[in-house]
Amino acid sequence: MQPPARLISVLLLTDRQDFQRAQEQSARDAGGREGLNIEVAFADNSPFVQIQQVLGYVSRPAEVRPTAIAIESAGSPAAFARVARKALSAGVGWVELSAGPSMVESLCDEFPGSLVGSVTVDEDAIGHLQASQCRALLPEGGALLYVEGPGVNAIVTARRRALEEGLEGTSITIAKTLAADWTEEGARVATSSWLRKPSARRCNPALVCSQNDAMAIGVRKSATDQLAPWALVPSLGCDGLPEAGQRYLKEGVLAATILKPTTAGPGVEWLARAMRGEAPPHHLVLHPSPLPPLEQLDRLAQPKSRKPS
């Protein structure tokens, strides 16, 4: 009789967003390939809920306790330090799936030989790529409406900082920043609320730059519904999933997006390698890519930048 497959608990942010559902599917696919059982839990973007989820898994009887937890954390690493140590003390591995300040090195020192690692995406590269897309589409400068995720998230800070660095020395400015919860509906509500304010009438962005595709669509829908004069300006997004960002790009709803690799599937594969006795790197960084290629955006912008003779 074969022993039961090892259980991996994958903790994600919200099931109301395309990329997070893709994270779930990539984890389940990787688990199937590797012969691992996968259970997935969503936290509705709440660090408190996610911490309670971790504590619930760790307190299970040994025979049903997960071998490891792979987590895309809803808060800062400092908020999860105690529960990460509690998991490792109980023999449960810990794999980070979101970029930002990492606990991995200190956890490796404290728990040598344990399953500890991170599989993340280069979020700085996403911000720099979006800056390059902005520069390509606005060669003579212009105002941005910038749409970002929840402020407590390290990903939000990393992408914005890299975007601002990439726009230094240009005439492109961030005229307004809106924050939402990574969902289309959240961005629609945030935009609608802002557009009701008198100050919104003074903002006339030349480009909407969003930290993901779903929020870009939410902004566009709200602006169209409220007859904002800039409703049809080009929009940039990120994630680039086939049935979302890539489809919006083909339909002309987005001017460009960024293909962001999922980390949950590679995180499960990292665990499988480690459990086989291999020695994968403690930090595995995946790299995003622009869609379409930047040179295509340059060609699209060139006719707009020519002055009449």
Instruction: Convert the pLDDT of each residue in 84-103 to its tens digit.
Output: 999 999 999 999 998 877 89
Is residue 1 assigned to a domain?
A: no
The pLDDT assigned to 78 comes to: 79
How far, in Å, are 89, 213, 241, 254, 277 from residue 249 at the CA level?
A: 47, 10, 10, 5, 43
Exposed/middle/buried for residue 307 (C-beta within 10 Å: 0-12, 13-18, 19+): exposed
Same domain, 224 and 199: yes
Cβ within 8 Å of residue 5, ≥6 positions away? 35, 36, 37
The pLDDT assigned to 307 comes to: 38
Q: How far apart are CA 277 and CA 271, in angstroms?
A: 10
**Strand segments (E) across 161-201:** 172-179
Is residue 275 assigned to a domain?
A: yes
The pLDDT assigned to 300 comes to: 65
* DSSP element (H, E) containing 118: strand 116-121
Same domain, 300 and 156: yes
- DSSP tag of 240: -
CATH number at residue 270: 3.40.50.2300
Same domain, 300 and 161: yes
Regions in the chain scoring below 50 on pLDDT: 1-2, 303-309
What helix, strand, coil percent values describe the chain, rounded to 5?
45, 20, 35
Is residue 46 assigned to a domain?
A: yes
Task: Please count the structural domains in the chain.
Answer: 2
Same domain, 64 and 153: no
Q: Which domain holds residue 238?
A: 123-259+293-305
Same domain, 47 and 71: yes
How many residues can be counted in the chain? 309
Q: How far apart are CA 217 and CA 116, in angstroms?
A: 37
Same domain, 12 and 98: yes
The pLDDT assigned to 301 comes to: 62
Q: How far apart are CA 228 and CA 83, in angstroms?
A: 46
The pLDDT assigned to 304 comes to: 44
Same domain, 129 and 233: yes
Is residue 266 assigned to a domain?
A: yes
Same domain, 53 and 140: no
Q: How far apart are CA 213 and CA 209, in angstroms?
A: 10
Same domain, 158 and 207: yes
pTM for the whole thing? 0.91
Q: How far apart are CA 131 and CA 125, in angstroms?
A: 10
- DSSP tag of 16: T
Q: How far apart are CA 14 and CA 45, in angstroms?
A: 6
Same domain, 26 and 154: no
Q: Give one DSSP letter per residue of 119-166, joined into a string.
A: EEE-HHHHHHHHHHHHHHH-TT-EEEEEEE--TT-HHHHHHHHHHHHH
Query: Which strands sit side by side in the sheet containing 235-236, from one edge to the other?
Result: 172-179, 142-148, 207-210, 235-236
The pLDDT assigned to 96 comes to: 96
Buried b (16+ CB within 10 A) or exposed e, 53-72: bbeebbeeeeeebbbbbbbb
Cβ within 8 Å of residue 16, ≥6 positions away? 183, 185
Is residue 133 assigned to a domain?
A: yes
Same domain, 127 and 230: yes
Name the one residue in this structure whose structure tokens are 């779930």: 24
Over the stretch 121-165, which tens digit does the pLDDT of each residue have? 999 999 999 999 999 999 999 999 999 998 777 899 999 999 999
Is residue 2 assigned to a domain?
A: no
Same domain, 115 and 236: no
